[in-house]
Amino acid sequence: MHTTQGKESLYTFSWFMSGSNSSPHGFVSFSCLSHSHTRLPGPVNAWPFGFVWTVRAWRQQNIWWIKSKELFETHGSTIGFRVFSSYSILTQDPECVRAIVTGSADLFPKGHLYKHLGLLPGGIFTTNGPRWRRDRRLLTPHFNFSAVSTFVPSFNAHVEEFLNALRQRCLTPRGTQDKSNDDRFESEASQEKAPGVVLDMVQAFNRLTLDIIFDAGFGHDLHAVRQVPCRAAPLSDTALPCASAAAYKTSLDEITGDPSEKVEPLLHESGDKESDEIAEALRIAFTEVAQRLTDPLPVLKYLPRRYYRAKKATQVFRRVIDKAVMERRKRGEEQANEKEPGVGDRQGNLLDLMIAVHEEGTWCTDEMLAQSMTFLIAGHETTSAMLTWTLMELGERPDLWLKLRAEVDRVCGVSAPSSPWPSPSPRSSSRIDASHVDRMPFLRCVLKESLRMHPPVTIISRRILKDLEVAGYLIPKGWHVGVSIYTLHRSPALWERPDEFWPERWEEGPGARGKDTVRRCSVGDGMAHLDQKHFDNGTVPSLPHVPVSGGKQGGVTLPSFDGNQAPPTQDQRISEIAEESREEAATNPATGTSRGPLKSPFQYMPFSLGPRNCIGQRFAMTEASIILARLVRDWDVTLVDRAATVQRVELLTVRPDRLLCKLQPRQVYPLSPVRCGARESAAACSP
């Protein structure tokens, strides 16, 4: 075995992979490079900054994703590098991933940089140790199956609002948006119908998911989708039933370049006045946090311009959350005699929990604020990025779009409206509920494949607190280990046709479907099951010093803990993930092999794996499934931007810079009026 043992350096370098060995004084030490890491292959580390300077440049040029692939091709699946005077490794080796994610969260905590990343300290994303375990236990029940299914009506309501606003734009001749809705639809027959609208789906999904997370978190409707900028599509181009490379005949300039076509909001009725302000504050927060990822020195965040912008954004969050808390308390008083909300109750949203925990004295006001900001930031841009990437891929593949539509029609039912223009009023049949989602395996495959090709979170990092043997090297404790999710998901050694969008790779054998589809809907959550199961049935290890007690508090049931339960062992964790992966690896009809797409349970981790995996993955998958299914069922979508021209934006998440699409109410319905079966629908739904 090679060794990389050495003296720990003194300085916390603030790049994502680093920041471990902070000196109490924060001095930069150039002196103590006694690590002999050179035996671990890796890039050249230019003095004094080391590799971070190169990474910074690559990120600025937006080529990090290409270069990171090259790095692994050149040096192997685990590379070592220096960042200032600290050492880190970056890996795409499933065995290394296994060692990290199956280890205890205490042995592989998040590094100091995570703290430095947060605009406010104390959120669950950044904390470690007992505090993180306490908060994870408190929050987990809000993201289990039953809790997430209580959000389904809200997902439907918000997507309905978005689609109705789209329909209104399609039915409204230009310049008549000030008419009341009723007038507009009464005189629908006499109006010139716009062929569709063109909008940037990055913005549309961003605002939609913001509305959803805000509602889920605070029970407050921002109506941010109403403000999505869009413009009517040119009349000359009405006959594009679905996105297709062949049908693509409208150039970007034709649609976007007409100066007489004013960009307008989806609906003139404004949303909540705060929505724009919050969207802007979130944008600032994202940009600031992303900048901190590559700051050569942590103190740069105190540069006056940056500092005050970040402070202003934090103040917006603080004000909004304070207001939500006040409103909630007032509502609570008014409802004092009515049924009390509880966990799993739609009214028992995160805010209720936070207020309860705050009143109990466990979270101070700043902690409550930090948790809220964490959910706002972690909970909408990620899902929005997933949806945008998915639409981009489907837009390039009409065959997949139709296959998916056929599945949605079959499972959710579709009745062709008497006119090609669906009624603007919500149809009760239009709702898609959790049981529909469970019965749409191809939809799940599409989302999983999208998360494989375009994981919104591309790297995670852990500090190692015990020596770790990786790929024949001994990595000393104190180093940082980064997992490159993006390259792991694209590794030719692990995936067949890694750069191809191929949802069928996830299809299961005929016997594999059934009641476990609900569970399998949670993508990549091998370890999550273990932890979630333990949380759900109360067998998670407890912390003696957790002050939170079980029972009702402020209308919310706080989880109670049994301090005698043993934590899951590493073997248990491994076998859980392996079991999950075995299920995934059931006979794969697409490949004809019995191996399925996964060679290792640790090669697919869009939501990370292990105890610190994404707490919101069920929420995100259910939300995305409903949004996508409704869009596919009721709308024809044509890409205006082509996938090849879309630029990646690497901030905290990775998303397309923009995705202009043309949306039209669906034109072609299945021949069978109510339901169309899986096979016939593919043909019947074809244009």
Q: How far is the CB of 2 from ligand HEM (least distance, A)?
A: 27
> Can you read off the two tokens belonging to residue 624?
């995305």
Stretch that binds ligand HEM, among 149-157, 220-228, 418-426, 601-609 (CB under 6 A): 601-609
Residue 459 or 682: the one with the smaller Cβ distance to ligand HEM is 459
> Which residue, among 76, 92, 85, has the nearest Cα to 42 in the 3D structure?
76
Nearer to ligand HEM, 266 or 614 (CB): 614
| Kind plus residue range of the DSSP H or E element containing 664 | strand 660-665
Distance CA 596, CA 508 (A): 8
Stretch of residues binding ligand HEM (CB under 6 A), selected from 183-191, 290-298, 545-553, 608-616: 608-616
Q: Is 386 in the site for ligand HEM (CB under 6 A)?
A: yes
Query: Taking CB under 6 A as the rule, does residue 15 contact ligand HEM?
Result: no
Give min distance, CB of 135 to ligand HEM, in A.
8
Q: Minimum Å distance from CB 612 to ligand HEM? A: 4
Question: Residue type at 156?
Answer: N
Residues 82-111 that bind ligand HEM (CB under 6 A): none
Residue 288 C-beta: closest distance to ligand HEM, Å: 17
Smallest CA-to-CA distance from 607 within 615, 599, 595 is with 615
Residues 431-460 that bind ligand HEM (CB under 6 A): 456-457, 460
Q: What's the closest the beta carbon of residue 43 comes to ligand HEM, in angstroms?
A: 23
Query: How many chain residues touch ligand HEM (CB under 6 A)?
Result: 22
Q: Does 68 bind ligand HEM (CB under 6 A)?
A: no
Q: How far is the CB of 210 from ligand HEM (least distance, A)?
A: 11
Q: Which of 128, 347, 383, 581 binds ligand HEM (CB under 6 A)?
A: 383
Q: Least distance from C-beta 374 to ligand HEM, angstroms?
A: 5
Please enumerate in sequence order all residues whose Cβ is within 8 A of that of 363, keeping only pairs 6 or more positions apart, or say none: 354, 357, 371
Identity of the amino acid at 115: K
Q: What is the dihedral of CA 617, 385, 513, 402, to 10 degrees?
A: 160
Interaction between residue 378 and ligand HEM (CB under 6 A): yes
Residue number closest to ligand HEM, CB atom: 616
Report the run of H or E that residue 391 belongs to, with start and end.
helix 365-395
Task: Name residues whose C-beta falls within 8 Å of residue 70's C-beta, 6 or more positions apart in sequence.
Answer: none
CA dist 205 and 158 (Å) reads 11
In angstroms, the CA 370 to CA 495 distance is 39
Question: CA 19, CA 10: separation in Å to the nearest integer?
Answer: 10
Task: Please tell me whether residue 609 binds ligand HEM under the rule CB under 6 A.
Answer: no
Considering only residues 610 to 639 of the shown chain, the ones binding ligand HEM according to CB under 6 A are 612, 614-616, 619-620
DSSP notation for 465-477: SS-EEETTEEEPT
Residues at the binding site for heme are 614
Residue among 241, 379, 395, 656 that touches ligand HEM (CB under 6 A): 379
Calpha distance 395→363 (Å, rounded): 45
Q: For residue 199, count other CB atoms closer than 10 A to its CB.
A: 24
Specify whether the CB–CB gap between 216 and 154 falls below 8 A. Answer: yes
Smallest distance, ligand HEM to C-beta of residue 527, A: 11
Q: Which of 84, 151, 607, 635 binds ligand HEM (CB under 6 A)?
A: 607
Stretch of 21-29, 233-241, 278-286, 600-608 lying at the interface with ligand HEM (CB under 6 A): 600-608
d(CA 118, CA 285): 9
Q: Could you tell me the smallest distance in angstroms from the CB atom of residue 108 to ligand HEM?
A: 10
- The C-alpha atoms of residue 503 and residue 364 are separated, in whole angstroms, by 45
In the complex with ligand HEM, which residue's Cβ is closer, 49 or 486? 486
Nearer to ligand HEM, 33 or 494 (CB): 494
Looking at the Cβ atoms of 491 and 608, the one nearer to ligand HEM is 608
Tell me the C-alpha distance between 38 and 41, whole Å.
7
Provide the pairing of β-strand 480-484 with 86-91.
parallel
| Under rule CB under 6 A, residue 227 binds ligand HEM | no
Which backbone phi and psi does 493 adopt, to 5 degrees?
A: -70, -20
Strand partners, 649: 655
Residues 333-372 that bind ligand HEM (CB under 6 A): none
- Binding of residue 374 to ligand HEM (CB under 6 A): yes
Per DSSP, the three-state class of 91 is strand
- In this complex, which beta carbon is closest to ligand HEM, that of residue 136 or of residue 534? 136
**Collapsed DSSP state (helix, strand, coil) of residue 21:** coil
Site residues for ligand HEM, 459-498, by CB under 6 A, read 460
Positions that interact with ligand HEM (CB under 6 A): 124-125, 136, 374-375, 378-379, 382-383, 386, 456-457, 460, 606-608, 612, 614-616, 619-620
